[in-house]
Structure 1
């Protein structure tokens, strides 16, 4: 009701900007490609280079609430909106797993400079490169500057088993497991050694992204990032999903339904290992009494066991997994510029770290919230159902352009790469590595979304 009243009376929905008590300083070019630079705070950078974060967001008249924004994100037809094609590369990891990297633009790359920024995208819960929220950023970001784009490259990291990527071990992914993005960045860094890598994460992928940045600190291979719709405190937000009737019946069970469908697609990968704890647990997920499984039930049965490598998996309960996987307590450890965007009426992410006392924010974090927008929606006034426009594309593109073109990013201080017996690895770590395998190919438009609820 509050969202409807705001829309009817056109009440102000200018994004709120939250900065830490101490704000980091970056070096900025005074003009494009200029050698003339100045040191400015991140706050001043946002004020001058990200105007959309200071302008009003007005939800589309036909989507005045967070529930409607989220429903449309899930149920809308975006197949002909922001069409992006990809060239897929499959990576084999040291533990036998498979990660799918979807690169865009496709075709001839000779016109790109060696230092053209590369956007590295992490998708939501059961998504992939086909998701409309991913394409809403990549379509303009990878368009030629003469067409109003940024002219950047991009790659979407599809998690194990997602978006048509085969599951080759009995291990899935989770909101807390970061070794797969860490491994993917080894390959991307080797492919584009002179290019700054800019991370963009959505929902679950935003949580993985934030945890990676915090864990790596100054060694991050990503020079800057943006986290959109991050769930942050998995414990607090799971309580809301579990205790609110509407949230439990619609959102929790909808996300669990997607996870069950994904598990069903890859059941053979588990049946090849009949003695594993997770394999023995799978039949329970498909019992008739579990026809409307909640997200916590699925996590308590499957994710806590198979959501990452051992250790730390398996966890005793889903609650223990949620405590470990949350990212809100790690915001103080981030050491590269990070823009976080959340909507206050998001029905899935209802508890934000800026609402909680005692959560430390690194000087490198900029947090922005809007009153409206739902979960990964932000469909704005002036949009029509046939051509919906997402407000978040504007501030995200402004942030990426500022980081890719304007800020003089420091040289990445990650551990050196090395090749060992055909594996791309990192000096000082023998537990991570990858090499390219066959089975990639062209991914066209919205391919890969069939059979699952999109937008989550």
Structure 2
């Protein structure tokens, strides 16, 4: 499909990628959203926390939203997107990936950038239990990669109609290299801090699986993926995990209309995360690369951010 022409022009201060990223993540407030939680058992004996919010009137449309690394349904971008969908008469379920719902998950394994089986479990459960005939997927950062991989690696129910991937790290190795650069040191430090905290809790649960010395050896995010992510989830090492979990290799097989919205001033994304060549020749893949937006930023006056507006517009244009 032709690449989208972009007209997003935020206020001057928000044209700085870092400011846009930090403001949207830490300073935005979403108060007018009512959510309720259900829990979904997984086939391997774990639990997924699902936070729902309803449209004002009965609908057969549902959006499934997935957060980024160390995020959850409480993050402003999740709540903002849920509110936008609800206001357009679409019910929402925010999927908290394993260990991201406010408590430690049951198993030694957890979530990671390529773990799409939990999304499959959620989709199939919803179709079995509920009335929804139009299901839309909306992912942010790590969650965007999961959705893109899910759509390209397998068949899925006909009720899944479209997807929007925001700030998608399509090439995980390239993204890892960017996160380890000085420009992203603050973000990398915060991610590593929370990940190690969770890993220490896992060590208490499963002392035979990992020791404290291994945890204390972790100095970088790649170290974390070498020590825990790869080993716990059946990969050889971090690079094997990045290679097999990157959605870039799956994009060509996506069968439903899918929008990737990646800002050019996103400091997390490598050049390989902007798949222009694939999108130009793809019947279902749409790529929009605004000059501004940062990483999951996209500030816009009026309460609804640009990424939320584009997700609604993209879905509505298909109807």
Same fold (TM > 0.5) = yes
Check conservation: 2:183, 2:267, Cα contact below 8 A. Answer: no
Partner in structure 2 of residue 167 of structure 1: 105
Distance 1:358 1:133 in 2: 28
Task: Report the alpha carbon displacement of residue 326 of structure 1 after superposing the two structures with TM.
Answer: 0.5
Question: Structure 2 stretches of 5 or more lacking a match?
Answer: none
Q: 1:32-431 maps to which residues of 2 (within 5 A)? A: 56-76=7-27, 78-79=28-29, 81=30, 83-105=32-54, 111-113=57-59, 116-142=60-86, 149-217=87-155, 219=157, 222-242=160-180, 244-247=181-184, 249-264=185-200, 266-267=201-202, 270-276=203-209, 279-280=210-211, 282-285=212-215, 287=216, 293-306=219-232, 308=233, 313=234, 315-354=235-274, 362-380=282-300, 383=301, 390-403=305-318, 406=319
Partner in structure 2 of residue 416 of structure 1: none
TM-score normalised by L of structure 2: 0.90
Task: Report the alpha carbon displacement of residue 353 of structure 1 after superposing the two structures with TM.
Answer: 4.4
Distance 1:220 1:359 in 2: 23
Q: Tell me the matched-pair count.
A: 319
Partner in structure 2 of residue 19 of structure 1: 2
Identify, as 1 or 2, the structure richer in helix: 2
Distance 2:192 2:296 in 1: 18
Task: Report the alpha carbon displacement of residue 117 of structure 1 after superposing the two structures with TM.
Answer: 0.6
Distance 2:272 2:266 in 1: 10
Moved over 6 A (4+): none
Distance 1:356 1:56 in 2: 18
Superposed CA RMSD: 2.5
TM-score normalised by L of structure 1: 0.65
Check conservation: 2:276, 2:287, Cα contact below 8 A. Answer: no
- Structure 1 residues 221, 125: closer, same or farther in 2, change over 3 A? farther
1:141-167 Cα shifts (integer Å, max 9, x gaps)? 21xxxxxx3111110111111031441
Task: Report the alpha carbon displacement of residue 356 of structure 1 after superposing the two structures with TM.
Answer: 6.9
Check conservation: 1:218, 1:336, Cα contact below 8 A. Answer: no
Check conservation: 1:251, 1:348, Cα contact below 8 A. Answer: no
- Structure 1 residues 294, 359: closer, same or farther in 2, change over 3 A? farther
Task: Report the alpha carbon displacement of residue 378 of structure 1 after superposing the two structures with TM.
Answer: 1.1
- State the SS of the aligned residue for 2:193: helix
- Computing the radius of gyration over CA atoms, which structure comes out larger, 1 or 2? 1
